[in-house]
Structure 1
């Protein structure tokens, strides 16, 4: 039997699990990863999730990391995935983001805690200005991968998974993954972090033309509210707190 695992996730909406409305005890790829570790490793797993939607990378490091390190008993594993919201801002600079992440990685290492890094999921295929978002995402994935390599950390390159750009893995807002997307990320993470089974290969993609009415509804229901939040400097995470702030047993 594997040693007991105390796993805490920090990050933004991706790690919070937005878009996963599947019938699982712990939604989102982080919760599915916790369940996968309990199942595949025959381990006693405790799970906490401090991620909050809308958070920029600085907000994750400043507002969640110390809380994660202060959990009692201490975590044995932390996953970090952030930067996706930074990619969508007018100003984006990789060095400004990677330096504080490197300091955070050293802080976790000095506490004797395992840290796994993930690149954010890449929604660019379905979004306006997708080419810009894709190029920024590649630059960020390269920087995180290099940091992980230099520090000997597990790295899950979600943004460049060959399947996850397909529409069937994304929810209606095209910005957050649906249950199928979260499940695939959980499988990728379990394989990279705990040497779990190789992820299941998805069925061939089904494609079809986008209908004008659907596109107009998408812009009205999802793009315009997002723009309004940017203009008014509001975040979808304003007033929200962590979904699993304390250790919860995973059966």
Structure 2
């Protein structure tokens, strides 16, 4: 009888460099890197996955990275458009974070969303690649997303069960207390800013047990605002971000409808001037 431990996908490096040569990231805006503008490419985004790939690329030769994530995608769309292209790239490390856009939709069922995630992870895991899977962040700190905290928690329990079933590496955002602070979020109050993506990258590298020199980033002190200033800021946020989001829901549109993957092919990383 085969020892179950011997069949596990190894992800803990035994000294020295990590074991991966091809990393493919799939998902939605979180993995695309929305909220983290790329200073080297106007209009483009960097994000936690690029930051992880930069670290991985420095430790081994012939490293390649693809990012198929597209903002606004629901989990069914990710399954339909990203799973097989990811598999076709023959990665030995795959990350998947999907279902967040579904969970925050009114009336959605986190258990049914998790069933779809299970299908995706089953397919990815069958390739023999190491699979990095994400829990959702604890939204209790933010008024915008606090109403969904219970659904996120239920979904996370499903994510952990799926990770155990397929021996995935878990990047646990729920436990990442450092980013539960509005100063780690972009102006839309939904996506991480560069500080948030940096902290997620550090957490993901810890989960993978990859040594790195990334240091914690401290946000500036929160500005002191009067009640009137805070309400004016809330109104500005609603006008710029909330209303367009509601209108897209009404018209069954997505922010990613005309967007294609930023790195559809696995290619070497070009390191930025600063980490």
| TM-score normalized by the length of structure 2 | 0.82
Supply the distance in 2 between the matched residues of 1:93 and 1:53 (Cα, whole angstroms): 21
Question: In the alignment, is the contact (CA less than 8 A) between 1:78 and 1:113 conserved in 2?
Answer: yes
Question: In the alignment, is the contact (CA less than 8 A) between 2:28 and 2:70 conserved in 1?
Answer: yes
Match of 1:165 among 155, 159, 180: 180
Supply the distance in 2 between the matched residues of 1:86 and 1:136 (Cα, whole angstroms): 10
> 1:134 Cα shift?
1.6
Aligned to 1:221: 240
Supply the distance in 1 between the matched residues of 2:241 and 2:61 (Cα, whole angstroms): 40
Aligned to 1:100: 116
Render the CA deviation track for 1:223-243: whole Å, top value 9, x for unaligned: 111111111111101121100
Aligned to 2:106: 90
Question: Residues 117, 3 of structure 1: CA spacing in aligned structure 2 closer, same or farther, 3 A cutoff?
Answer: closer
> 1:109 Cα shift?
2.3
Render the CA deviation track for 1:141-161: whole Å, top value 9, x for unaligned: 121012112322100111331
Question: In the alignment, is the contact (CA less than 8 A) between 2:22 and 2:65 conserved in 1?
Answer: yes
How many corresponding residue pairs?
A: 247
Task: Report SS of the residue matched to 1:44.
Answer: coil
Question: Residues 149, 198 of structure 1: CA spacing in aligned structure 2 closer, same or farther, 3 A cutoff?
Answer: farther
Supply the distance in 2 between the matched residues of 1:81 and 1:46 (Cα, whole angstroms): 20
1:96-175 alignment, distance < 5 Å:
96-122=112-138, 125-128=141-144, 130-175=145-190
Q: Which runs of 5+ in 1 are unaligned?
A: none
Aligned to 2:195: 180
Task: Report SS of the residue matched to 1:171.
Answer: coil
Task: Single out whichever of 103-112 and 196-205 deviates more from structure 2.
Answer: 196-205
| TM-score normalized by the length of structure 1 | 0.89
> 1:4 Cα shift?
5.0
Render the CA deviation track for 1:181-201: whole Å, top value 9, x for unaligned: 111111111110244359745
1:33-52 alignment, distance < 5 Å:
33-39=52-58, 41-52=59-70
Aligned to 2:35: 19
